[in-house]
Amino acid sequence: MSSRSHGKGAGGGGGEGGGGGRGGWSAASAASVAASRCHLCPLPQSLNVPRGQPASTGGAPASDRALAASQNCECGCAWHRAQAGAKASEVAVAARGAPSTAIGGGGSKSHCTNKNATAAAAIFVCVCGLFQISTCTMYPHQILLAILAFISLSRVTNSEDVDAALRKQLKEVANLEMVQNASEIMNWRDLVLRSAIPYMRDCDEMFQAGHRESGLYIIRPDNARKLVVQCYMDGCNGWTVIQHNTHDTEITWSETWTTYKYGFGNLEADHWLGNEYISLITQQKWYKVRIRLVDADGNHKYAEYDSFVLQNEDNGYALKLGTYEGNAGDSLSNSRLKNMHDNMKFSCKNQDNDRSTLDNCANVHGGGWWYDNCFNAQLNRKGGLHWSTLCEENCRRSVIMLKPIHMYCTRV
Ligand SMILES: [Ca+2]
C-alpha cells in the first residue's frame, strides 16, 4: 500500500524539488546554509558583472573562480548580488521561495551556492524523492493533509481492528457480509487506494491482469455493483466460483428467493454467489462451467458444459447449458434420465417453478435448484449432495465455477 501511495507523490515531489519553483522548506534551508558560508568566497577583483548575470557566466576572473573552487564555493557567491545592488531582503524572500526562481539554479537571484550545501540539498531532495516523501515541497496545509492520510492508512494496516476499518472502506462492495476476514481479499488495496482502473469483470480478467494466486477478489461485472468472489487460478485461466458445498456443511441451503438472488454463506467455504450476480456474469461473455465433485470414496471427478447461461430474474434465472464433457457423467442435460435440469427455471422454498404438480420440490428436498420433477442432480443441499451418475446423495464436495471460452489457451 505504501508504495502506491508514495508512488503517486513521487512525481510531484521530485518535480517540484528538482525545479525548486515553489521554494520549499528544504530549499530555503539549503540556501540559508549556502549563504552563511559565502563569506568563504573571495572578493571580486572585477566588479563589472551586470545585475542579475550569474557569476559562473559573468566576469569573475578565472583566478577568483579557481579560488572559489578551492574553498568549496561553486561560483561567485553573494558579492555579485551585493555589487549589483541586490538587497539582503531579496535573498531572504528568495530563500522563502515566494517570488524566487530556483535556489542555486542559475537565475537572476540567489545563485550563490556552496557545493556542500548544494550537495546536501540535492541529497535531501533525492532522499525525499527516493522514499517519495513529498513533504519536501509541501506547504504546511499539505503536510497536515499528508499526515492525516498517513494516519488513516496506518490505522487500516496496523490497528487491531483492521477488519472493521477495512469493512468501512469497502462498504460499496455488495456482498461483503459473505467474507469473514476482509483482509483476506487479495486486491482490497486496489479499492481502498482507488488505483484499480478499471475493475475486472470476472476472475479470468483478474488472472489475465497478472493475479496468479487463488483466493478472494473484488470484481465488478457489467451492470453490477462491486462484489467479492472466490477465484480459482489454475495457471492458465481464472475461474469464478459460484458455488461451494460440502457434505458436512454448516448452512441449511433452505433459503428464500431473495436470499438466493443475492447469495449467502461464506465465500471462503460453503456458499452460493447469488443468482443475480451469476446471471449478470454469464451475460457478459460466452462462459463454460465446470462442476468439480468428490464422490463418496474421495475420487475427484468433473462435469463440464461448454456453455453456461443463467437467464435474468424475469425468466426465473433459467439454466441454459451447452455440450457435456467430463468423467462424472451428465446429470443435468441427459434426456435419457428422468429429470432434465437444463432449461429449467430456478425454484426455492418460496418460489415454485418446478414441474411437479404435487409439490414444491424445494420444500420437499431442501435448497434452491433448477428442479424438474424433481431432480437427477442437486448440489444445493445440506448433507445430501446428489449427482445421479456419480453419487447417491453422498458426494463429499462440490464446486461450480465459470470461465470464459478462450480459443488461444489449450491448458485446462
Ligand atoms: Ca411444483
Concatenated DSSP letters for 282-316? Answer: HTTS-EEEEEEEE-TTS-EEEEEES-EEE--GGGT
If one counts every other C-beta atom within 10 angstroms of the C-beta of residue 137, the result is 28
SS3 22: coil
CA of 349 to the centre of ligand 1 (A): 10
CA distance 273 to 83: 79
Q: Which amino acid is at 156?
A: V
CA of 16 to the centre of ligand 1 (A): 72
How far does Cα 9 stand from its chain's mean position? 18
**Cell numbers for 329:** 457423467
CA of 360 to the centre of ligand 1 (A): 4
**What letter would DSSP give residue 351?**
B
Q: What are phi and psi of 242, to 5 degrees?
A: -110, -15
CA of 310 to the centre of ligand 1 (A): 20
Q: The dihedral of CA 150, 155, 157, 159: what is its sign? A: positive
Cell 573571495 -> residue: 42
HSE-up of 181 (CA within 13 Å, CB side)? 7
**Which residues are CB-neighbours of 127 under 8 A, at least 6 positions away?**
none
CA of 408 to the centre of ligand 1 (A): 44
* Helix, strand, coil fractions of the chain, as percent rounded to 5: 35, 15, 50
CA of 335 to the centre of ligand 1 (A): 20
CA of 303 to the centre of ligand 1 (A): 27
How far does Cα 256 stand from its chain's mean position? 34
Each residue's pLDDT expressed in tens, for the chain with a length of 412 residues: 333 333 333 333 333 333 333 333 333 333 333 333 333 333 333 333 333 334 333 344 454 455 445 444 443 333 334 333 333 333 333 333 333 323 233 333 333 344 444 444 444 444 445 445 444 455 666 677 767 766 665 555 555 577 898 899 999 999 999 999 999 999 998 888 766 556 899 999 999 999 999 999 999 999 999 999 999 999 999 999 999 999 999 999 999 999 999 999 999 999 999 999 999 999 999 999 999 999 999 999 999 999 999 999 999 999 999 999 999 999 999 989 999 999 999 999 999 999 999 999 999 998 999 999 999 999 999 999 999 999 999 999 999 999 999 765 444 4
The CA–CA distances, whole Å, from 288 to 121, 281, 294, 404 equal 60, 12, 20, 6
